[in-house]
Structure 1
Amino acid sequence: MYFTNLKSAVACVLHQPEICCISEFHTALGQYLNYCQALEEQEADRIVYLAVPSETYQNFFQLPFVQRALQRYQVKLIVYDPKQEEIRQWIR
């Protein structure tokens, strides 16, 4: 699914709210990196964001291992509230 930002074209990878273990994080990160590479070659003006539910961000995404991976691969995040269906935070 894609969100479009008026200032820049943004492609957003939505992930399942149930991220709860390292293997699911690896899958999401790999998918994110693949999208980044594909868009870099095809549509360089787009920015890829990994969207994660706010609860997952507050818990799992604060683990040191996850934080290091996000920093190493310069992962951009959208933190959203699935119940309210609204974006809480954009993290570049």
Structure 2
Amino acid sequence: MYHDTVRVALEKDGWTITNDPLMLPIGEQSVYVDLGAEKLLTAEKEGQKNAVEIKSFLSRSPVKDLEVALGQYVLYKGVMTYREEKRRLYLAIRDDVYLDIFSEPIGRIFIENHQLSIIVFDPITEEIVKWIN
């Protein structure tokens, strides 16, 4: 639901979308992360590359949405590690979701135990509010 919103927010923040979606083949299977993005840091240095999985958290149960997000994040991070990808994986979530479920102990456990990197975005202004590494 927020795919285009996050894409616009990343572009406003100076990122170039390189893959939509980012396909990561592994054996006979592939996983698809929502976006691949790159930002050139300086003319002389290599750019930073990210993979961004966008989660809407729209079901009746934020805990169930958290379970799904965790499963995908762990799977994608494992595939990226196996493939020796030089990208950092981010989970993109709305600002209200961050202030709600991710400010509670269950959300903080998710962030700390899985070294979760998060992009918090405002769906109205289509802008990045916060980067959490």
Conserved? CA contact 2:91–2:117, under 8 Å: yes
Residues in 2 aligned to 1:34 and 1:56: alpha-carbon distance in whole angstroms: 22
Measure, in 2, the Cα distance between the counterparts of 1:81 and 1:43.
32
Identify unmatched segments of 5+ residues in structure 2: 1-33, 41-46
* Structure 1 segment 1-92 matched on structure 2, within 5 A: 1-2=34-35, 3-6=37-40, 7-18=47-58, 20-92=61-133
Rate the CA distance shift 1:70–1:36 in 2: closer, same or farther, 3 A: same
The two structures, once aligned, show a CA RMSD in angstroms of 1.5
Which has a greater percent of strand? 2
Normalising to structure 2: TM-score of the pair? 0.63
Residues 34-74 of structure 1 show CA distances to partners (whole Å, capped at 9, x for unaligned) of 11111112242111000010011011110011101210110
Answer yes or no: is the 8 Å Cα contact 2:73–2:91 preserved in 1: yes
Q: CA deviation at 1:17?
A: 4.6
Q: Which runs of 5+ in 1 are unaligned?
A: none
The one-letter code of the counterpart of 1:55 is: D
Richer in helix (by share): 1
- One-letter amino acid matched to 2:125: Q
- Give the direction of change, closer, same or farther, for the CA distance of 1:23–1:78 in structure 2 (3 Å limit): same
* TM-score normalised per structure 1: 0.89
Q: Which has the larger radius of gyration?
A: 2
In the TM superposition, residue 5 of structure 1 has moved relative to its aligned partner by 2.9
